[in-house]
Amino acid sequence: MTPAADWLTAQLLRRSTPHLGVFLPAGIPTVQADVEALRTFAGCGARFFEVGVPYSDPFLDGPVITAAYEQALRRGTGVVDVLETVHQVATTTWAPVVVVSYWGSVLQYGGATRFSQGLAAAGAAGAMIVDLPVEEAGPWLAASRQAGLHTPQLVSRRASDERLARVCSTASGWVYAPAAEAPTGYAGPLDVEALERFTGRLRAAGSTPVVTGIGVSSPEKAANVRHLVDGVVIGTPVIRPLLEMTASEGLRAAADRVSLFAAALQTPADPPSPSAQTIAT
């Protein structure tokens, strides 16, 4: 593993409270300003980052992240810009960076080997390919491990125990357990009891840290799932003000949101009662 990958593992495994991760597409709010934003978030309590590769058909994402990708693509943001963002963040903060991408972007850049080697050279800790099934991931996993990168895996709670075991055996860095079976940006109620059963199945299937996101749309929801996971990732709550406000106002509002989520993960909420299986918006 690269030093960045080792540092990510150390952070997630040696914890007293779950760590906050922040997802930001490269090029948002602009190329270069994305680095400033991530540095600011590191000072507000973010412990690791996901940097998204802008993609033209992000079918797993909701309207806010889709709009962010479209804006970044209109400005010409590509994998080269992603690598530069990763490099600048990795060399000026202590927060490890994992790149999040659709498989099409990997192929467009030249394939698994070139993509993984570029990430390792930039200082990334790993990459999560959100639409690559584990059954088809062999070349990607081999190239990434050759480069010393973690390969986090996204998994559905509807997966069989056999498939969960296979995902957990191939994942490294973390297994991503969505808090809601919905596109990114979901802000409805969370079934915490269902998430608890899901994370319990993942813990039984392997020892890889468990990270959640998608649906953890408020600090209150973060507090109510904190006892189940090793990390919580937020994206839409931070990206929205960067898209909708002026540069300075958007960054200030986004940083405030990061601070609130980070504080929520430090203060445990009361566990949900048996009769309260969902957390309202």
Catalytic residue at 249? no
Nearest to 124 by CA among 242, 19, 184, 38: 38
Give the model confidence (pLDDT) of 225-263 as tens digits: 999 999 999 999 999 999 999 999 999 999 999 999 999
Nearest to 190 by CA among 223, 237, 235: 223
Domain range enclosing 122: 3-279
Q: What is the mean pLDDT of residues 187-209?
A: 96
For residues 159-176, one letter each, b for 16 or more C-beta atoms within 10 angstroms of the residue's C-beta and e for the rest, the string is beeebbbbbbebbbbbbb
Query: Roughly what angle, to the nearest 10 degrees, separates helices 112-122 and 79-92?
Result: 30
Give the model confidence (pLDDT) of 49-75 as tens digits: 999 999 999 999 999 999 999 999 999
Q: What rounded mean pLDDT belongs to the chain?
A: 94
Give the model confidence (pLDDT) of 136-176 as tens digits: 999 999 999 999 999 999 999 999 999 999 999 999 999 99
The predicted structure's pLDDT at residue 273:
38
Give the model confidence (pLDDT) of 79-91 as tens digits: 999 999 999 999 9
Q: Please check the confidence at residue 279 and state whether its pLDDT lies above 50.
A: no
CATH code of residue 71: 3.20.20.70
Give the model confidence (pLDDT) of 92-102 as tens digits: 999 999 999 99
Give the model confidence (pLDDT) of 30-56 as tens digits: 999 999 999 999 999 999 999 999 999
CB-facing half-sphere around the CA of 165: CA atoms within 13 A:
4
Positions of E strands within the chain: 19-25, 48-52, 97-101, 126-129, 153-154, 175-176, 190-191, 210-212, 231-234, 278-279
Query: Which residue is catalytic, options 34, 61, 81, 191?
Result: 61
Query: Which residue is catalytic, options 34, 50, 81, 230?
Result: 50
The predicted structure's pLDDT at residue 14:
78
Total count of domains within the chain: 1
Catalytic residue at 70? no
The predicted structure's pLDDT at residue 276:
34
CA 196 – CA 199 distance, rounded (Å): 5
- Per-residue pLDDT band for 269 (boundaries 50, 70, 90) equals low
95 contacts: CB under 8 Å, gap ≥ 6: 38, 42, 46, 47, 48, 49, 89
